[in-house]
Structure 1
Amino acid sequence: MAAEAERFTVTYRILAESASAAMRRAHDVALEQTVEIPGDIVPEGFIADEIVGQVGRAVMARRGVFDVTISYSPDSAGTELVQLLNVMFGNSSIQQGIKVVGVDPGPVIAERFAGPRFGIAGVRQRAGRPEGGLISPVIKPQGSTSDQLAEIAWRCVAGGADIIKDDHGLADQPMSPFEERTEKVAAAVARANAEFGTSALHFANITGRPDQLVERAFFAKTAGSGGVLLMPGLLGFEIVHQLACDPAFDLPIMTHPSFTGPFVLSPDTGFTHAMMYGVLQRLAGSDISVFPNVGGRFGFSAEECLSIAEACRDPHGHGRPMLPSPGGGMSVERAADMVRMYGDDVVYLLGGSLLRAGDKIGEAVTAMRRAVDAARAERETA
């Protein structure tokens, strides 16, 4: 039997007219997330005492909204990340008026799921950027040839980029097949590193059928990529966990938010922004979490973005602290504001705005590098 201290705890934000109503609904959640049978037929003994979620107390967050904790036995999750997420918010995610706002993994789950392999310190070491914000241009657009994308990558490294990220829309398309593109872009980054004495990393976007994902990730490693980009909203969190745990893979992982919007956009259901793009990514083993930046085209607020960054870097969070990577609305003009907002441990994602520079894209990257460094220096002397 798992001791109380070994259980993991999920905090749910429940819409209810009163604390007693919130508690009734929480007891329904505790059953739904574990045995999925009516309470009056739950077998006595181990199942009733250990497997069924144990409801804590209801705390009013605001009128009509209550935060309630439910603890679960690690035995209900086993050793599978998929089942852990299923226990946290499986069937209840289909119901209205329930939102996950926190999780305490407890010692057993924390040991089973180590979190990021590299984290902030490891990515910095691999990229050769011991301090200050990291600059990450995105190579695009879809429809470009592999040679065109490789040329963009080379110019960005020449301009001072730390990470060259595949656009998440680059898959295995006839214009730029996965293997050809990965080999050419990784080779271009390697040539630029050799010429300019840098350590920029290429993160290859990994897509495909479930049986192809690990094979393609290892292909990228063999081709010379310094990391991979994964979309857990489409591929599932398990592939992130599998690669992060594999000592033979040994590359940093960046996760992209595609397909996850419905999990966070409702104020009453799903997950908080910090949970989805901070806590869950760390739990799965991501080292860098991409999310839409305030002022971009997606409408995340400054408060939501800061909550994500804090969850990514929280020293008391799950596993090693990871790097937040805001994307959208990035420019030289906004660099100072972004540095003041996010600080040093951040990956600045530069997308379509860079392409306006054309053949001078490397100079645009250099300008962003200088703007970020100048803003950091100014902040330190203020």
Structure 2
Amino acid sequence: HLLFKGSSTRSAQDIAQGIDAVGGDLNAFTSKEYTAFHARVPAWELDFGLNTLLDVLVDPGFTETELDAERQVILEELAWSADTPDDVVHGVLAESLFPGHPLGWEVLGTADTVQAIDAAQVRTFHDRWYRRSNMVIAVVGPVDHDEIVARVDTALAVVGEGERPVRAAPPPEIVPQVVTPRSIEQMHLAQGWRTGGLHSPDRYALAVATQVLGGGWSSRLFQEVREKRGLSYSVFASVGSFADSGTMSVYAATAPERLTELRTVIDAQLHDLATNGPGQRELDVARGGFEGATVLGLEDTGSRMARLATNVLFRDRVVGVDEYLDAVREVTAADVQRVLAEVLDGALAVSIVGPG
């Protein structure tokens, strides 16, 4: 947030007007493991876009006045999230799966931590971690690679190499169940398991298993929970992949008196898939879904940019599209059955948010 509030040579208004004047956008987001800053501009405005992005990265202002204003924005965002039950249920699930570990922390922080931070602390954090050794720059468009590298090297000449962060392994323990009372109409349920991370050899099989289970309209959970029984409007399964760990989770919301039925149906679908595996048609649909979504994503420059950057950040190389698709195509029904059975054999964490 604060990096867009101005640098030593540009005010926040200069940055905003400059981006608006070329019809572009400038934004950022933070995940559990990294922060990304990205700009999108017309190809003929590459100089402006690259210079602006590098300027706010290298030379931010970090004034107390801007921090105080942004603090209020984040506090409002925290309040909004606290009023959103599906945000709460997933946040508590993460804390339960990774108790006391950064992977379990809320990305936004807490009201107390946001209130306590000052500009000097933000500046110290930036000076320590926003260094060449921790940065990956990805550019997509009609550009010359060598020219971009030379220009980025020049812009980052004043930035030292810095240290690489040391990761702490997640603790083996989890919290089995947390119920969070809220005065709302529905019971929100999220249950999850720890899995392997981005480098696990089973990551593709787990992704396909999750797709079969709850990844789309034809998935088992959508058909059984919503279409056949009308138990929930929203139900899905998902995978969270980190550098050295991961999660598989299932989410749904239902009326309080139907929560037990919902949990029974979800458990039955999980264990049936782990015991009997997917049918051939289910497997084909799941693998084909990944292939189609990947190819369609290549039409978007933002998706290409994110793919390149995260590949280099976590794997030190770009995994080719063909390599990725081949790995997905090689997943068998036996792989899905085995991987899901192994996940379900691990400890289960359950988060429930609702009345009572």
Q: TM-score range by the shorter chain?
A: under 0.3
Higher normalized helix content (fraction of residues): 2
